[in-house]
């Protein structure tokens, strides 16, 4: 087993003072924090270093994180790959998105399962709950005391990717979290966690409350067209706060895709399996026992729905869910 100190040296050996380095991420709290840590490791070791995101950042908590920590991100569409002689991908892998294709990677650091790409330096630990935990170990090995902002970002990244340690986490994640706790600004972290609404989302909450369908302990609403799919997630989580609700399903249409968010109380249920069974053949679908997501191109629904009007979509989704949750596997009943 290679120690973290040895891995750190192998990592730093990939770079020289003349290098122009690009860090590529699919921006979320874990990726942003990990990129910040990677940038800190290379501070004063290279000529230039920039962080680039491949996705459009719209989640209010992510936007607050970038603003409060002063992170500078450049969207990948504004990047010239030829301007950088070294490229690192953090908290993702090249096969995860076509936006990574134009780049040749020197470094890959990730906690998702390895999908085949090879690079001069790779540290892929699929047993870890967050890439931020890996980066915290590198900082410790480099004897770098993280600034308050960096520690808070990594602290938030671990909490987010492990869902407050309710999803897969290891002792390494816990040790990293404990170390960061001593240096983080907990009040700032809590502020970021609580910023999950935009003013425009409030109208969707009003619509969801007025148009919801309640069947026993299940609650469902189809919002129609939404300006951001995150609002479906927020409302699904909101409905799960009602004490009698055991299943919460919220759907909406975004950029010619039907987005379906499933939540449950985690007791003898598996939202991921339900989503995959119902929608996996016509779109991407899956998740965890208590939370899942399906995204279906509207084109794939033409043979199943006469017209993509809001009420027709609502009735089709209700029909799929009623069959699965009421008459399917008893383990999936609310």
pLDDT, tens digit, 9 for 90 and up, residues 102-122: 999 999 999 998 888 999 999
Better pLDDT: 196 or 98: 98
**The pLDDT of residue 118:** 92
Q: Is the pLDDT of residue 211 over 70?
A: yes
**Model confidence band, residue 217 (pLDDT cutoffs 50, 70, 90):** very high
What are the Cα distances from residue 52, in Å, to 21, 25, 114, 307?
Answer: 11, 6, 22, 40
Domain with CATH 3.10.310.40 in the chain: 202-332
Max intra-chain CA distance, the chain:
65
What is the DSSP-derived secondary structure letter of residue 284? E
What is the DSSP-derived secondary structure letter of residue 145? P
What is the DSSP-derived secondary structure letter of residue 221? E
Place of tokens 């009420």: 311
Class of domain 4-194: alpha beta
Tell me phi and psi for residue 279, to 5 degrees.
-125, -5
Place of tokens 């609502």: 314
CA–CA gap between residue 255 and residue 58 (Å, rounded): 14
Among candidate residues 68, 27, 36, 71, the one with its CA nearest the CA of residue 187 = 68
Tell me phi and psi for residue 52, to 5 degrees.
-125, 135
Place of tokens 């995150």: 230
CA–CA gap between residue 39 and residue 22 (Å, rounded): 10
> In this structure, what token pair is assigned to residue 320?
């799929």
Residues 253 and 261 sit within 8 Å (Cβ to Cβ): no
* Average pLDDT of span 169-175: 92
State the pTM of this model: 0.70
Domain with CATH 3.90.1640.10 in the chain: 4-194
**Could you tell me where the DSSP H helices lie in the chain?**
4-12, 29-41, 60-69, 131-141, 148-161, 171-181, 186-194, 202-211, 230-239, 271-279, 310-327
- With a CB cutoff of 8 Å and minimum separation 6, the contacts of 36 are 51, 69, 71, 149, 150, 153, 154
pLDDT, tens digit, 9 for 90 and up, residues 28-79: 999 999 999 999 999 999 999 999 999 989 888 899 999 999 999 999 999 9
pLDDT, tens digit, 9 for 90 and up, residues 230-278: 899 999 999 999 999 999 999 999 999 999 999 999 888 889 899 989 9
CA–CA gap between residue 128 and residue 134 (Å, rounded): 8
> In this structure, what token pair is assigned to residue 168?
């897969």
Assess if CATH 3.10.310.40 describes domain 202-332. Answer: yes
Mapped onto helix, strand or coil, the DSSP state of residue 189 is helix
**Model confidence band, residue 13 (pLDDT cutoffs 50, 70, 90):** very high
**The pLDDT of residue 167:** 73
> In this structure, what token pair is assigned to residue 49?
């270093």
CA–CA gap between residue 229 and residue 59 (Å, rounded): 10
CA–CA gap between residue 150 and residue 70 (Å, rounded): 10
Q: Is the pLDDT of residue 311 over 90?
A: no
């Amino acid at each position: 087993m290679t120690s973290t100190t040895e891995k750190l040296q192998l990592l730093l050996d990939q770079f020289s003072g003349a290098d122009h380095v690009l860090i590529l991420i699919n921006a979320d709290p874990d990726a942003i924090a990990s990129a910040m840590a990677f940038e800190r490791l290379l501070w004063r070791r290279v000529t230039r270093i920039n962080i680039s995101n491949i996705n459009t950042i719209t989640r209010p908590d992510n936007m607050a994180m970038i603003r409060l920590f002063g992170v500078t991100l450049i969207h990948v569409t504004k990047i010239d790959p030829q301007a950088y002689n070294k490229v690192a991908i953090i908290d993702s892998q090249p096969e995860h998105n076509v936006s990574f294709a134009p780049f040749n990677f020197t470094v890959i650091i990730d906690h998702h399962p390895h999908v085949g790409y090879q690079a001069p330096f790779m540290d892929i630990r699929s047993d870890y709950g967050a890439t931020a935990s890996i980066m915290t170990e590198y900082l410790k090995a480099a004897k770098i005391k993280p600034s308050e902002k960096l520690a808070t970002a990594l602290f938030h990244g671990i909490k987010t990717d492990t869902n407050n340690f309710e999803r897969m986490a290891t002792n390494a994640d816990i040790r990293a979290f404990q170390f960061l706790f001593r240096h983080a600004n907990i009040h700032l972290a809590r502020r970021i966690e609580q910023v999950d609404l935009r003013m425009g989302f409030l109208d969707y909450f009003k619509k969801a409350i007025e148009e919801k369908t309640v069947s026993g302990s299940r609650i469902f609403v189809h919002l129609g067209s939404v300006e951001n799919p995150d609002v479906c997630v927020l409302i699904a989580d909101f409905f799960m706060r009602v004490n009698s609700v055991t299943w919460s399903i919220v759907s909406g249409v975004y950029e010619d895709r039907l987005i379906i968010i499933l939540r449950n109380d985690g007791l003898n249920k598996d939202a991921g399996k339900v989503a995959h069974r119902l929608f996996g053949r016509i779109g991407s679908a899956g998740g965890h026992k208590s939370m899942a997501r399906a995204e279906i191109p509207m084109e794939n629904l033409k043979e199943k729905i006469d017209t993509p009007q809001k009420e027709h979509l609502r009735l089709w989704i209700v029909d799929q869910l009623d069959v699965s949750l009421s008459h399917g596997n008893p383990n999936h009943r609310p």
